[in-house]
């Protein structure tokens, strides 16, 4: 689940809720335009948070059903397990090692040497 940096543990409203309640005024001066922009962005951020929560509610049981051993592993959450499932595709046996997974993801080291020049001994 995504945790945003503006989450608040205290008793007051979080920053997006407070900004979403701004009253921009006439929209002709800098302060009014700033309030209007912050209010618009905050409302969209709240909508996106709700969408993420809805997708998480769908994704968590699917991943837990498909790969319970991955989700139960220490340090692997729903998002990481889902990414691994997507990367592995229909053939998880092709990921024989960490190097094979790195190659599949396009993050494996590439030999930079050419000809007689050896750049990485």
Each residue's pLDDT tens digit, 82-106: 887 887 776 777 778 878 777 776 7
Rounded to two decimals, the pTM is 0.58
Q: Looking at the predicted structure, is the pLDDT value of residue 118 above 70?
A: no
Q: Which residues have a Cβ under 8 Å from the Cβ of 76 and sit 6 or more positions away?
A: 70, 84
Same domain, 56 and 93: no
How many domains does the structure of the chain reveal?
A: 2
Least confident of 14-18, 24-28, 30-34, 47-51: 24-28
Q: How high is the mean pLDDT of the chain?
A: 79
Query: What pLDDT, on the 0 to 100 scale, is given for residue 41?
Result: 94
- Among the listed residues 115, 67, 121, the one whose alpha carbon sits nearest the alpha carbon of residue 89: 67
Which residues span the domain enclosing 60? Answer: 14-66
The token pair at 85 is 């499932």
Evaluate if residue 10 carries a pLDDT over 50: yes
Residues 81, 59: one domain? no
61 with 84, same domain: the answer is: no
Six-digit token string for 89: 């595709």
Q: Domain check: are 30 and 49 in the same one?
A: yes
88 located within any domain:
yes
Q: Is residue 4 part of a domain?
A: no
Angle at 20 between CA 18 and CA 25, to 5 degrees: 105
């Amino acid at each position: 689940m995504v945790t945003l940096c503006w989450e608040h543990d205290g008793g007051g409203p979080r920053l997006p809720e407070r900004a979403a309640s701004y009253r921009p005024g006439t929209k002709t001066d800098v302060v009014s335009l700033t309030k209007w922009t912050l209010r618009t962005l905050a409302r969209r951020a709240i909508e996106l948070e709700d969408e993420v929560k809805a997708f998480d509610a769908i994704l968590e049981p699917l991943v837990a059903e498909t790969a319970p051993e991955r989700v139960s592993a220490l340090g692997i959450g729903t998002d990481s397990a889902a990414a691994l499932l997507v990367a592995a595709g229909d053939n998880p046996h092709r990921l024989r090692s960490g190097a094979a997974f790195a190659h599949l993801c396009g993050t494996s080291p590439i030999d930079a040497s050419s000809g007689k020049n050896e750049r990485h001994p």
